[in-house]
Structure formats: structure tokens, C-alpha cells
Amino acid sequence: MSLIDPTSVDHAILSRRSIRRFLPTPIPQATVEAILDVSARAPSGTNMQPWQAYAVAGAERDRLCAAVVEAFDAGSTEPTQEVPYYPDRFFEPYLGRRRTVGWALYSTLGIARGEDAKMQAQHRRNFLFFDAPVGLVFTIHRDLATGSWLDYGMFLQNVMTAARARGLDTCPQAAWARYHSVMRPVLGIPPEAVVVCGMALGYADPDAPENTLQTERVPARDFTTFQGFID
Ligand SMILES: Cc1cc2nc3c(=O)[nH]c(=O)nc-3n(C[C@H](O)[C@H](O)[C@H](O)COP(=O)(O)O)c2cc1C
């Protein structure tokens, strides 16, 4: 039993994990809209509210997935992500953390080093929203500055936390951004918009091995310099 009050904000934050296999249980539009309405209470510099979202379900979700899976299978990644999410070259301590989570995920699936085809197959599942019934795609105006991307992160965390409050799970997905040129005509994303990321939304499959992954965090005392406290 959790020691944290299940109705608390801490519980919603701590119970969020990236879920990579969902049940087909549909989610009503009203639920998705309520999550996005709550999330839009995120702060943003001068209240600019830089977020734009596309929420797809049913046939529209399938249409988006089919288009991107086709591009993925054809080996097409051009043009790549417009605003890089990752550095060109990983370095420590980030490289080590990245490797740790990657291998931890693959080991839940019984994928060993060198099994590239199986890794590719797992990566491909991003473009099925990991079977989630609802897909979210988030965009931002390309002329906005770094501050708005910071605001965006707060909004996205709200989406994932508000989903938890409703018993729903998520997986934020940078993978989609590489396929923005395929997604644009399907979703009607205008040229001035940059795809920030996708997000799977639904009920977690409790029996899926990949959903057992528990990631670690560096404790606050290791990334914080505390100064001036007297207690
Ligand atoms: C913006 C963003 C993009 C991500 N993109 C992907 C992705 O494309 N595919 C994926 O499987 N996980 C993706 N993740 C999930 C991370 O791997 C995950 O958050 C991290 O390993 C910590 O695990 P946790 O979310 O379960 O706490 C992304 C996370 C964030 C915040």
C-alpha cells in the first residue's frame, strides 16, 4: 500500500511512468478535453500559452499511424526533427543514464544486445502510440523562443499528471517529431508549426512486461546545492 495519500498531487506525479503497451479501451473526447483544459492552467511567460494540440482517436488515429508506419518501414527519416531534442553527441552523465534506461526497457522484453531487428520493432511501436486509443500531437509556433519551450514542458507534465488523476496513463514521445512532414497533411499542421512531440494516452495493459519498467532518479541532494539553511 502506498504511504502517500492516493488523492494527493505527489501520488499523481509518482504513479506516472512511461507506459508502452495500452489496452484498447476507448477514451471519450470529454475526458481528453478535460485533461487538456486542466493542463492549460500551466504557467507561461506573459501568459502566451504556446501549446497547440491535435487529439486523434478511432479512424483518424489509425490514419496517422498508418502514414507514419509506412514512412518508418520505408526507412524515411528525412527531413528529420526540426528542433533537435537530443544533443548531436551524448556525454556523461547523460550518456550513461540513456544507456541504462534503454537496456532496462529491452531487458523487460527479453531483447539482448545485438538484436537490432527486435529493437527496431520496439521503436516502431511508437508510431502505433503503443496501441493507445488516443494519440496526442503537440506543436509550437516556430518563431517562439526557448522560454516558450520551457512553458510547454510544464503544460506536458500537467497533461501526464491530469491523466493519472483519471486513472489514465501516457507515454511522451519525441519519436514522432522526425516524421513531421508525413504528419502535416494528415493532421493539417500548418507550415509555421513545429512538432514538439507525440503522446500516447489510454489505460495501461497491466500484463505487459514493458510496463514493469521502473526508472531511477538522482536524489535531490545530488543535484542541488543547498545553502543557508539552519535546520
Ligand atoms: C519529451 C519526451 C520524449 C520522449 N520520447 C520517447 C519516445 O519517443 N519513445 C519512448 O518510448 N519514450 C519516450 N520518452 C520516455 C522516456 O524514456 C522516459 O520518460 C524516461 O526514461 C523516464 O521514465 P519514466 O517516464 O517511466 O519515469 C520521452 C520522454 C519525454 C519527456
Q: What is the pLDDT of residue 3?
A: 62
Residue at 225 is within a domain: no
Residue at 96 is within a domain: no
| Ligand 1 geometric centre to CA of 216 (Å) | 13
User: Does ligand 1 lie within 6 Å of residue 170's CB atom?
Assistant: no
Residue whose Cα lies nearest atom 18 of ligand 1: it is 18
Q: What is the pLDDT of residue 1?
A: 44
| Ligand 1 geometric centre to CA of 174 (Å) | 8
With residue 194 as reference, give the H or E element that holds it.
strand 193-202
Distance set, CA 198 to CA 68, 80, 83, 127, 194 (Å): 12, 15, 14, 9, 12
Q: What is the pLDDT of residue 6?
A: 74
CATH number of the domain that residue 197 is part of = 3.40.109.10
Residue at 117 is within a domain: no
Q: What is the pLDDT of residue 2?
A: 53
Mutate to test the pocket of ligand 1, among 97, 171, 180, 183 (most ligand atoms within 8 A of CB): 171
Alpha helices by DSSP H, 166-206: 180-187
Helix (H, G, I), strand (E, B) or coil at 86: coil
Q: What is the rounded CA–CA span in Å between residue 195 and residue 177? A: 5
Residue 211: Cβ within 10 Å count: 19
Report the residue count for the chain.
231
Q: What is the pLDDT of residue 7?
A: 78
Residue 139's domain spans which residues?
Answer: 9-86+128-209
* pTM recorded for the entire structure: 0.96
Q: How many domains does the chain have?
A: 1
Q: Is 188 left (phi over 0), alpha (psi -120 to 50) or beta?
A: left
Mean pLDDT by 10 residues, the chain (231 residues): 74 96 98 98 98 98 98 84 93 98 97 96 98 98 98 98 96 97 98 98 98 97 97 84
Residue at 228 is within a domain: no
Residue at 104 is within a domain: no
